[in-house]
Amino acid sequence: MKKIIVSLCFLKILSSAVELNEIQSFEAQFIQTLTSQNEQILYEGEIYIQAPSNALWRYTKPIPKDIYIQESISIIYEPKLQQAIITNIQENLNILSLIQQAKKIDKNTYEAKVAGVIYTILVQDGIPKEITFIDALENKIHIVFKNIKLNTLKNENIFDFNPGSDIDIIYN
């Protein structure tokens, strides 16, 4: 659920900042570090976002996993388990209301509070580079983006989840 909120929050930042208001799509590789007490877990992958509400987090390490966000639905697909979990996003996270919540803290920093979680977004040359937040379990999540491409997404079908007949679908 936190990844879903991060995606929606990130979409908000893409749309909210004056220097970012022309961004319609965002593609990047990412490294996500989750720190829990004294333990760190590193995740790697790619992210694809298309305004106003489509996102795909494609995790490649430590295990493959795709998280699709389409309007108010999230789909977590785990190929090694041959299953997908489809969930309605419970919070009413209207993109327009998220846009209104974003606050510019300084030249390169934005902050948004969503569902009680404060997200700090670092921007460089008008491009989002990092997101940091602490989740409800007191885990610190830090996401760094690299090889960023803006407004170049050609394959809008990337957001379509098309499971094979061998995939178990779980509705949550």
Report the predicted TM-score, pTM, of the whole model to 2 decimal places: 0.82
105 vs 114: CA distance, rounded Å: 16
Residue with tokens 């902050």: 111
Q: Is the pLDDT of residue 5 over 90?
A: no
Q: Which two tokens stand for residue 121?
A: 């977004």
Strand order through the sheet with 73-78: 103-106, 109-114, 117-124, 127-134, 140-150, 25-36, 39-50, 54-61, 65-70, 73-78, 83-88, 168-171
Q: Which two tokens stand for residue 88?
A: 């309605």
pLDDT digits 0-9 by tens, 36-64? 988 999 999 999 988 777 889 999 999 99
DSSP for 63-89, written as a single string: S-EEEEEETTEEEEEEGGGTEEEEEE-
Q: Which two tokens stand for residue 59?
A: 């995790």
54 vs 17: CA distance, rounded Å: 19
pLDDT digits 0-9 by tens, 60-89? 999 999 999 887 899 999 999 999 999 998
Strand-pairing partners, residue 83, are: 78, 168
The answer to whether the beta carbons of residues 135 and 143 sit under 8 Å apart is no
Q: Is the pLDDT of residue 128 over 90?
A: no
Backbone φ and ψ for 79, nearest 5 degrees, come out as: -60, -35
The answer to whether the beta carbons of residues 140 and 127 sit under 8 Å apart is no
Q: Which has the closest alpha carbon to 103: 4, 28, 16, 11?
A: 16
